[in-house]
Amino acid sequence: MTPVERARTAFAEVFGGAPQGCWWAPGRVNLIGEHTDYQGGFVLPLALPQGAAVAARARSDRVLRVHSLHAGGTAEIDLDDVAPGTPEGWLGYLAGVGWALTQAGHRVPGLDVVLDSDVPIGAGLSSSAAIECAVAVAWDDLAGLGLDRDALAAAARRAENDVVGAPTGVMDQMASLHGQEGSLMFLDTRSMDIEQVPLELAEHGLALLVIDTRAPHALVDGEYAERHASCARGAQLLGVSELRDVPVEGLTDRLATLEDDLLRRRVRHVVTENDRVMRLVGVLRSGADPRSAGTLMTASHVSMRDDFEITVPQVDAAVDAVLAAGAHGARMTGGGFGGCVLALVEAGSAGAVFNAVAGAYEEAGFDPPTSFI
Ligand code: GLA
């Protein structure tokens, strides 16, 4: 059964009667453009087939009662009691959206919800954004708000930033709400302009292999916030409002004006990453062989590893192993400190490439990885 079917079926058992509807939103992988979205930069994610589903029915009060098949268990809160940091745990992803919509001046009812998802948790595939976006579209429909997808993405991001307390950008929520099958979403996070860029992998005999390294996410929250703060400091010292405004041309000279080597490397990652996104989009727009995008993916990984320092040994080992096994390019995807590696491979070689990673992990004593195409 799909998450939608499971959520719909469970609703009657948990709440009695039928839900008013089921809503679904996908997780994402990011092809390139990491840690650029909170500095006004460029990202190039694609929506996944895996997603979060909510079966929901409006209530006459403001209570949000959620039964999660995903996490197991039921939790509830009055929407008027939601505040930064409250509630803790997974309920915050849903309650935070109700809070954000209320803050934006919309009147939203309480809901009875059954939640399910098949996005792996803690793998850097935006399992939380999928939940936020699914409940955002549910509320939009049930309350007849008529909001567009950018507004729903903004509410979902506020839930994450203000209620859950993670200072993320808007890439994940925009990818979840605007992703289209067969396309990458090229997003300018300053103007919020979107271009759907076709990704013709099958036509070229290629596949994207997603390897879940299953590396434990240690210190994620603090480290992400630290990178966020470093970038803001770098922008301030360079006299720009966001690092998006620092051109890659003449970067070395500009960086020389920064005294702190760590800050220089943080800034260099973001500025060169924006440039790599633009170049990769250029490759795909030109209709060139997508294999030539692989070197940009790998360069992005090296930049995350050496300059931004957000990779972990399992992630670096997976990238090394897939490249040695013939992948055209590979990189960690998502916020970092674990999670998934994305590899551009010949469709016929995906199994062998994955086996190379599994072998390397066994040798290194890491937990076995998993993968999907
Ligand atoms: C997380 C955040 C995004 C983005 C990525 C890194 O997924 O939610 O906003 O910053 O990390 O690119």
CATH topology of domain 3-195: Ribosomal Protein S5; domain 2 (3.30.230)
Going from the Cα of 228 to the center of ligand 1, the distance in angstroms, rounded, reads 10
CB 312 within 8 A of CB 215: yes
Reported residue count of the chain is 373
What's the longest Cα–Cα distance across the chain?
Answer: 66
Q: Which of 168, 228, 276, when mutated, tests ligand 1's pocket best, judged by the most ligand atoms within 8 Å of its CB?
A: 168
Look at residue 71 in the predicted model and tell me its pLDDT: 87
Look at residue 170 in the predicted model and tell me its pLDDT: 97
Look at residue 216 in the predicted model and tell me its pLDDT: 72
The catalytic site residues sit at 172
Nearest C-alpha neighbor of 125 from the set 181, 175, 78, 182: 175
How would DSSP label each residue in 214-277? -----SHHHHHHHHHHHHHHHHHHTT-SSGGGS-STTHHHHHTT---HHHHHHHHHHHHHHHHH
Please work out whether the CB of residue 212 comes within 6 Å of at least one atom of ligand 1: no
Please work out whether the CB of residue 168 comes within 6 Å of at least one atom of ligand 1: yes
Please work out whether the CB of residue 244 comes within 6 Å of at least one atom of ligand 1: no
**pLDDT tens sequence across 190-239:** 999 999 999 999 999 999 999 999 997 654 568 999 999 999 999 999 99
Looking at the CA of residue 33, tell me the nearest atom of ligand 1: 12
Look at residue 221 in the predicted model and tell me its pLDDT: 67
To which residue do tokens 């360069």 refer? 299
C-alpha atoms less than 13 angstroms from C-alpha of 60 in its C-beta half-sphere: 0
Q: Which of 172, 266, 304, 331, when mutated, tests ligand 1's pocket best, judged by the most ligand atoms within 8 Å of its CB?
A: 172
CA distance 139 to 125: 23
* 3-state DSSP assignment of residue 160: helix
Look at residue 70 in the predicted model and tell me its pLDDT: 86
Looking at the CA of residue 126, tell me the nearest atom of ligand 1: 7
Per-residue pLDDT of the chain (373 residues; tens, 9 = 90+): 999 999 999 999 999 999 999 999 999 999 999 999 999 999 999 999 999 999 999 999 999 999 999 888 999 999 999 999 999 999 999 999 999 999 999 999 999 999 999 999 989 999 999 999 999 999 999 999 999 999 999 999 999 999 999 999 999 999 999 999 999 999 999 999 999 999 999 999 999 999 999 997 654 568 999 999 999 999 999 999 999 999 999 999 999 999 999 999 999 999 999 999 999 999 999 999 999 999 999 999 999 999 999 999 999 999 999 999 999 999 999 999 999 999 999 999 999 999 999 999 999 999 999 999 9
Looking at the CA of residue 124, tell me the nearest atom of ligand 1: 7
Report CA 163 to chain centroid distance, whole Å. Answer: 18
Going from the Cα of 36 to the center of ligand 1, the distance in angstroms, rounded, reads 8
Residues 6+ apart with CB under 8 A from 190: 40, 41, 242, 244
Going from the Cα of 63 to the center of ligand 1, the distance in angstroms, rounded, reads 30
**pLDDT tens sequence across 278-308:** 999 999 999 999 999 999 999 999 999 999 9
At the fourth CATH level, which superfamily is domain 200-372? GHMP kinase, C-terminal domain (3.30.70.890)
CA distances from 367 to 212, 309, 335, 357, 361 (A): 11, 22, 21, 11, 7
CB 280 within 8 A of CB 295: no
Look at residue 122 in the predicted model and tell me its pLDDT: 87
Q: In this structure, is the dihedral angle defined by the CA atoms of residues 9, 87, 136 and 122, taken in order, positive or negative?
A: negative
Q: Which of 34, 35, 43, 171, when mutated, tests ligand 1's pocket best, judged by the most ligand atoms within 8 Å of its CB?
A: 171
Look at residue 112 in the predicted model and tell me its pLDDT: 98
Where exactly are the structural domains of the chain? 3-195, 200-372
Look at residue 220 in the predicted model and tell me its pLDDT: 55
C-alpha atoms less than 13 angstroms from C-alpha of 257 in its C-beta half-sphere: 11
- Per the DSSP assignment, residues forming a β-bridge with 28 are 47
CB 335 within 8 A of CB 224: yes
Nearest-10 Cα torsion for 88, 116, 215, 153? -70
- Per the DSSP assignment, residues forming a β-bridge with 197 are 184
